[in-house]
């Protein structure tokens, strides 16, 4: 007889030297990122953490209730720990600005886990970045990917007035727009 835990431990494969497609959700899939200030808080911590841990961001989209990132981590970086840092610091800032509840009250902003996938080829990286860019269109939030401010799409068009500049991969520029 086998006993199964209701809470399985997810395996993360950090040492394949590949790009990583990461997804994390707001608590109970609530649209906690619908507010532009909440999105900007997340952007600020993404940029700060990118500089601290020296990883590259090749693509992203911030949706009202979830986030997709395409990361290029340096050797030895534990992606799950870095995502946990981003989530923790951004949630603290969000709640500090919102002043929700009494001081010291516990609040939950993010779902506990994240999903990550190793992109094992340049084609897989392109596919995931396209997925990020098309997510707002698929959801009916905009008609064209360039209309969604909170993604890396406009970076690949060469625009400078974007919330977060990405580390553009040269071989991909013609394939993403």
Distance, in Å, from the CA atom of 89 to the CA atom of 42, rounded to the nearest integer, reads 9
Q: Tell me if 133 sits within 8 A of 145, measured CB to CB.
A: yes
**Domain boundaries in the chain?**
19-176
Record the pTM: 0.85
Strand residue runs (E) in the chain: 19-26, 56-62, 66-72, 110-119
Pick from 138, 137, 132, 110: which is nearest to 119 by CA?
A: 132
Q: What is the CATH T-level fold of the domain 19-176, as seen in this structure?
A: Alpha-Beta Plaits (3.30.70)
Distance, in Å, from the CA atom of 129 to the CA atom of 147, rounded to the nearest integer, reads 16
Six token digits for residue 72: 């290029």
Q: What is the pLDDT along the chain (177 residues), one digit of tens a residue?
A: 333 334 444 444 544 568 999 999 999 999 999 999 999 999 999 999 999 999 999 999 999 999 999 999 998 899 999 999 999 999 999 988 875 545 555 678 999 889 998 998 999 999 999 999 999 999 999 999 999 999 999 999 999 999 999 999 865 544 555
């Amino acid at each position: 007889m086998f006993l199964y835990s209701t809470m399985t431990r997810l395996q993360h494969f950090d040492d394949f030297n590949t790009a990583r497609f990461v997804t994390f959700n707001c608590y109970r899939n609530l649209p906690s990122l619908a507010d532009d200030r909440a999105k900007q808080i997340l952007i600020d911590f993404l940029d700060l953490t990118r500089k601290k841990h020296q990883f590259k961001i090749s693509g992203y989209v911030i949706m009202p209730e979830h986030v997709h990132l395409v990361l290029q981590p340096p050797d030895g970086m534990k992606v799950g720990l870095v995502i946990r840092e981003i989530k923790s610091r951004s949630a603290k800032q969000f709640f500090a600005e919102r002043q929700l509840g009494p001081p010291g009250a516990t609040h939950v902003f993010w779902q506990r886990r994240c999903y990550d996938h190793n992109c094992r080829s340049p084609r897989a990286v392109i596919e995931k970045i396209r997925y990020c860019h098309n997510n707002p269109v698929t959801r009916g939030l905009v008609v064209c990917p360039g209309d969604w401010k909170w993604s890396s799409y406009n970076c690949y068009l060469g625009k400078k007035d974007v919330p977060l500049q990405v580390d553009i991969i040269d071989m991909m520029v013609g394939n993403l727009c």
